[in-house]
């Protein structure tokens, strides 16, 4: 059986990334006709059209979508194999790392991480992006280098993950809140007005599930998309906030924190990254920095 033409991986990656013959050709400095011939050859060897016409553009087939990440990883691995091995010199590392995390992580761990990075790699830069949803596409496309969050069923199976620490949910209210006038019971907790943090804007969360198991139901007055907003509203009102303890420690400054008076599942905060960065020395160093800070207080 003849060996496949591995040179086809390069135009295949360009076509799957760009979704356009013209843009793929420009990316590889080829003529559109040459790229069209490459697409025809790829269709022949894969037995799949890969890109099909939809209006004025092209859309990938299911086979193309399945191949996209795999082809990109193969090419990046090949580049690493053929690249001369070098020792990472942190003092000369000029690179911007993009991290996606909630506002709680940035507030609680961001200053210490920035100080550590600035000390060890003074030319490196950090860029924090918010997490409006759990979509892991930015990790696969390379728009995000590292994510800090909870691994769920929606997390792509190809992603690498590493647990950082366990967290628990706690209640938080302003000083002098009426809830604090007597022992906090599940019934008194549920009877209050609540603020719910939900990136998706849903009206219920894990707290509601736990209360429902006791035959209780709380009243959610307002839903917000981040922990900062959650605690800002609770700090200046009689709303009750339910937030991760360690993850929001800095955000709760000046507030009264209390353990929830009913069982709640814990949270495991983890690092998530794409396997193409697994062996990258600079990325390994960054992962080590985050782990060191998060595990320091475990």
**Residue-range definition of the domain harbouring residue 147:** 93-167+268-296
- pLDDT given for residue 49 in this prediction: 92
SS3 127: strand
Same domain, 189 and 69: no
- pLDDT given for residue 88 in this prediction: 87
- The average pLDDT across 202-214 equals 91
6 vs 3, 154, 198, 201, CA distance in Å? Answer: 8, 33, 46, 46
Q: How many domains does the chain have?
A: 3
Same domain, 182 and 257: yes
- pLDDT given for residue 85 in this prediction: 58
- pTM higher than 0.75 for the full model? no
- The average pLDDT across 15-32 equals 91
Round to whole Å and give the CA distance between 141 and 17: 9
Domain boundary among 16, 48, 82: 82
- The average pLDDT across 73-77 equals 83
Same domain, 148 and 285: yes
- The average pLDDT across 101-128 equals 93
Cβ(280)–Cβ(287) under 8 Å?
A: no
Q: Residue 87 falls within a domain, yes or no? A: no
- The average pLDDT across 167-183 equals 96
Round to whole Å and give the CA distance between 187 and 14: 59
Same domain, 106 and 215: no
Percentage of the residues of the chain whose pLDDT score is greater than 70: 96
Same domain, 54 and 199: no
In terms of average pLDDT, the best of 151-165, 190-204, 218-232 is 218-232
Round to whole Å and give the CA distance between 80 and 277: 11
Domain CATH code at residue 218: 3.40.190.10
Q: Say which residue the tokens 């000046």 belong to.
A: 254
**Which residues share a beta bridge with 54?**
57
Closest alpha carbon to 127 in 143, 112, 104: 143
Angle between helices 103-120 and 227-235 (to 10 degrees): 120
Same domain, 158 and 173: no
Same domain, 117 and 30: no
Q: What tokens were used for 198?
A: 């939900």
Q: Residue 98 falls within a domain, yes or no? A: yes
The DSSP string of 9-20 is HHHHHHHHHH--
Same domain, 37 and 49: yes
DSSP class of residue 213 equals: T
- pLDDT given for residue 297 in this prediction: 58
Same domain, 181 and 256: yes
Same domain, 257 and 179: yes
Domain CATH code at residue 17: 1.10.10.10
Same domain, 42 and 118: no
């Amino acid at each position: 059986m003849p060996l496949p033409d591995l040179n086809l991986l390069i135009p295949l990656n360009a076509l799957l990334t760009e979704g356009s013959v013209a843009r793929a050709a420009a990316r590889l400095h080829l003529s559109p006709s040459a790229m069209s011939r490459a697409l025809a050859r790829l269709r022949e060897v894969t037995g799949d059209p890969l890109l099909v016409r939809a209006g004025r553009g092209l859309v990938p087939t299911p086979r193309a979508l399945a191949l996209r990440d795999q082809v990109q990883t193969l090419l990046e691995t090949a580049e690493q194999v053929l690249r001369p091995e070098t020792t990472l010199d942190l003092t000369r590392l000029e690179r911007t790392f993009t991290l996606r995390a909630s506002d709680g992580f940035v507030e609680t761990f961001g200053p210490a991480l920035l100080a550590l990075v600035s000390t060890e790699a003074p030319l490196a830069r950090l860029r924090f992006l918010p997490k409006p949803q759990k979509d892991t596409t930015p990790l696969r496309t390379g728009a995000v280098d590292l994510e800090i969050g909870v691994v769920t069923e929606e997390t792509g199976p190809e992603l690498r993950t590493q647990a950082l620490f366990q967290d628990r949910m706690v209640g938080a209210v302003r000083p002098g809140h009426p809830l604090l006038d007597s022992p906090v019971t599940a019934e008194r907790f549920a009877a209050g007005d609540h603020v719910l943090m939900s990136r998706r804007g849903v009206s219920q969360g894990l707290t509601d599930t736990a209360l429902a198991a006791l035959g209780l139901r709380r009243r959610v007055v307002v839903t917000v998309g981040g922990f900062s907003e959650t605690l800002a509203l609770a700090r200046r009102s009689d709303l009750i906030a339910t937030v991760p303890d360690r993850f929001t420690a800095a955000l709760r400054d000046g507030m009264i924190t209390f353990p929830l008076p009913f069982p709640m599942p814990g949270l495991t905060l983890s690092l998530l990254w794409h396997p193409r960065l697994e062996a990258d020395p600079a990325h390994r160093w960054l992962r080590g920095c985050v782990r060191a800070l998060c595990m320091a207080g475990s």
